[in-house]
Amino acid sequence: VSLTPAEWHRRYTEQARWTADLRRYLLMQVRLSPQARLLEVGCGTGAVLSEIKTPSASELRSLAEGVYGIDMALPSLRLARQHVPGAALACADAHRLPFADASFDLVLAHFLLLWVKDPLRVLNEMRRVARPGGAVMALAEPDYGGRVDYPAALAQVGAWQAASLQAQGADPNAGRKLAGWLCAAGLAEVQAGVLGGQWQAQRLDPAALDSEWQVISADLQALPGASIPAAETARLRRLDEAARREGERVLFVPTFYAWGKAR
């Protein structure tokens, strides 16, 4: 069963929560003016776009008027229209952005580059539509090759998910390649890093667990050549839940970010 756009939105909102502090920090580095124009490439349902704010002198001002988003999935864009009512949204391919050169002060992406056919071409497009001195940011790209699962029995889920992502056309190791991609796309002053992880022992969040397992189940169904019985998925979920209750569960997918300036 694949997820509905609304279920994807729940997932994207959860992912956006993981990177909220980082986004705030990186946006402070670029000091956008209230008139700034920004574009999110692959904006999905608008989970990130709806949260982009820039700190001004005394308040957090929403940049609603200068906010643009593109995505190739129309059902997601329909939700984005509700979540970011002021934004200019278009259905387009990230490999060919429908904007003139030097149109934006900030061009960003969040969990996008792992999914595209040619990440370098997409980054070249992001650089092209950024004004000279403007910022190009890849805020979150995961690296499943560096995933840590504990207890050990749950490592199987990680291996299956990485294989499934690959079968769906994604690059499970995009994270480690990110800084090199930005440099190759001709961006200047590239800075990169990896998000840390925090866990709260014995604090079980049923909604987050549900959402996680919804995505795992969808991924397992997309796994080529192996059909995993529902009973096995249910057994692993019970193991996951028990480990979380005990406070011993670790699920850490290194998630990289990188940003640089257009010349």
Ligand X SMILES: C[S@@+](CC[C@H](N)C(=O)[O-])C[C@H]1O[C@@H](n2cnc3c(N)ncnc32)[C@H](O)[C@@H]1O
Site membership for ligand X, residue 165 (CB under 6 A): no
**63, 89, 97, 112: which one contacts ligand X (CB under 6 A)?**
112
Helix axes 5-18, 20-30, angle to 10 degrees: 70
Site membership for ligand X, residue 83 (CB under 6 A): no
- Residue 151: asked if its preceding bond is cis (omega within 30°), the reply is yes
Cβ burial, residue 187 (10 Å; 0-12/13-18/19+) = buried
Site membership for ligand X, residue 43 (CB under 6 A): yes
Task: Supply the minimum distance, in Å, between the C-beta of residue 151 and ligand X.
Answer: 28
Q: Which amino acid is at 16?
A: A
Q: Which is nearer to ligand X, 63 or 243 (CB)?
A: 63
Give Cα separations from 263 to 25, 30, 192, 258 (angstroms). Answer: 22, 15, 18, 16
Site membership for ligand X, residue 257 (CB under 6 A): no
**68, 99, 115, 257: which one contacts ligand X (CB under 6 A)?**
115
Site membership for ligand X, residue 256 (CB under 6 A): no
Q: Which is nearer to ligand X, 95 or 188 (CB)?
A: 95
Task: Supply the minimum distance, in Å, between the C-beta of residue 117 and ligand X.
Answer: 7
d(CA 144, CA 161): 8
Q: Which is nearer to ligand X, 94 or 243 (CB)?
A: 94
Q: Provide the 8-state DSSP code for 263.
A: -
Task: Supply the minimum distance, in Å, between the C-beta of residue 41 and ligand X.
Answer: 7
CA 232 to mean position of chain CA atoms: 29
Helix axes 206-221, 5-18, angle to 10 degrees: 120
Site membership for ligand X, residue 178 (CB under 6 A): no
Q: Which ranges in the chain belong to alpha helices (H)?
A: 5-18, 20-30, 74-83, 119-129, 155-167, 174-184, 206-221, 230-246
- Annotate each residue in 116-145 with x if it binds ligand X (CB under 6 A) or - if it does not, as one string: x-----------------------------
d(CA 5, CA 11): 10
Site membership for ligand X, residue 47 (CB under 6 A): yes
Site membership for ligand X, residue 76 (CB under 6 A): yes
Q: Which is nearer to ligand X, 84 or 243 (CB)?
A: 84
DSSP H or E segment with residue 203: none
Only one of the segments 8-16, 28-36, 126-134, 219-227 lies at the binding site for ligand X (rule: CB under 6 A); that segment is 8-16
Chain residues that interact with ligand X, rule: CB under 6 A: 12, 15-16, 42-44, 47-48, 71-73, 76, 93-95, 110-112, 115-116
